[in-house]
Amino acid sequence: MSERIKEKISIIKEEYPDASEEKKAIIYFVNSNLRISSRKDLYRQARSQVKTEKRREDRSTTELVRMLTTIQENFSDRGLKEDANKFTKYIKDIEEASIIKKEALMYIDSDLSEIIKREETSEEDRSRTTRKLEELGEDANE
Amino acid sequence: MNKKNLIDYVSIPKKEINVDLSQITSIKAFLKDFNFHTSREWYNFTDKDEDIEISVSKTGIVAITLRISPEDTEKAIALLDKISKKICSFISDKDFSVEISILEKRKIDMKQFIGKEIDIKEFRSMNFKVAPEIKMRISSRDEEHIISFRDSKDISRLLNIYSSILKGKELRELTPIEVDVTITKTVF
């Protein structure tokens, strides 16, 4: 789509070298739409990357903590209190670091979503998400 | 334009599970109006407006992220609890632990909440237990806060605590059973 618009702009420029006010306005309008569209694509791409990273963090931390917990329990069962305590601390440190990373990703996700909405011309329907959740909630009763 | 809250609701199976395709087929039928796509480790369901995203990992983690108007947040959490339990029921009848994080855009009187003796400018985050099974954390960035709950079995108790925070009740009124409050000072 954007390639086609770029092509049209170039045709307008070639066919009508003496810029009229109307032509300038058309080119300005198309150009600014192109800029918004490519900005939105960039924000969406970044948001998708942030969400992927968040999911990766959920999964990898779960797996690591599960593994470390098995080791910690093993030390505990064998009466090796000092080693068990060391691993309890490692688990706490990993969980804390993961929470901080996920919080940062949440702030970025939220900011990018606000920016994307700001770029959109249509008014957002406030109750849209709640309505969809209610529909799913009803299906969950079945 | 009203700023929206962001909710992240993650259910983690206590023991690793291998999710098979028949289970995903059942979830697909439940989420019939959602777009579906897969990645290497996740099955993803997204509604057409990208307000709700539901991901199921091949190891059984169910993660739901949604954007919601601040005033609808409590209702959304209760619905999410129900929806998430339904999706988990397709995967396993075993226990899942739950982590809920809410990026709250409404104002919270943190000074009132954490006590007047603490320098609010230094405040970054705080962890504590408010019930035997509920771990809570609050972190802040400018005017925004993330409130996270872990291991909560009782959604109504969690919602009570959440609404207490929004009403600006003091921490001591929530009767935390383990006063393990950590204030992380900013180093910048």
Cα separations (Å) of A122 from A32, A34, B78?
17, 17, 29
The answer to whether residue A128 sits within a structural domain is: no
Residue A80's pLDDT is what? 96
Q: Is residue A23 part of a domain?
A: yes
Verify whether the Cβ–Cβ distance A140 to B41 is below 8 Å: no
Mean pLDDT of A69-98: 95
**Cross-chain residue pair A133–B53, CB shorter than 8 Å:** no
Assigned domain for A46 exists: yes
Q: What is the mean pLDDT of residues A92-105?
A: 93
Query: Using one digit for the tens of pLDDT, what is the confidence trace for B9-44?
Result: 999 998 889 998 899 999 999 999 999 999 888 999
pTM for this prediction: 0.80
CA distance A4 to chain B (A): 26
B92 to chain A, minimum CA–CA distance in Å? Answer: 16
Q: What is the mean pLDDT of chain B?
A: 84
Q: Edge to edge, what strands does the sheet with B125-131 contain?
A: B35-38, B42-46, B52-57, B62-68, B5-13, B96-104, B144-150, B134-141, B125-131
In a domain, A139, yes or no: no
- Residues A17-67: tens digit of each pLDDT: 666 777 777 777 777 777 777 788 899 899 999 999 999 999 999 999 999
pLDDT tens for each residue of B76-110: 999 999 999 999 999 999 889 999 999 999 988 87
| Structural domain includes residue A105 | yes
Q: List all residues 6 or more positions away from A64 whose beta carbon is below 8 Å from its beta carbon.
A: A94
Give the per-residue pLDDT at B3. 86
- The Cα–Cα gap between B147 and B139 comes to 7
Number of domains in chain A: 1
Q: Which domains does chain B carry? A: 5-103 (3.30.2030.10), 107-174 (no CATH)
Contact B83 A128 (CB under 8 A): no
Residue A40 lies in a domain: yes
Q: Express each pLDDT in B122-162 by its tens digit.
A: 677 777 777 777 788 888 887 889 999 987 778 888 888 88
Q: What mean pLDDT do residues A2-8 have?
A: 69
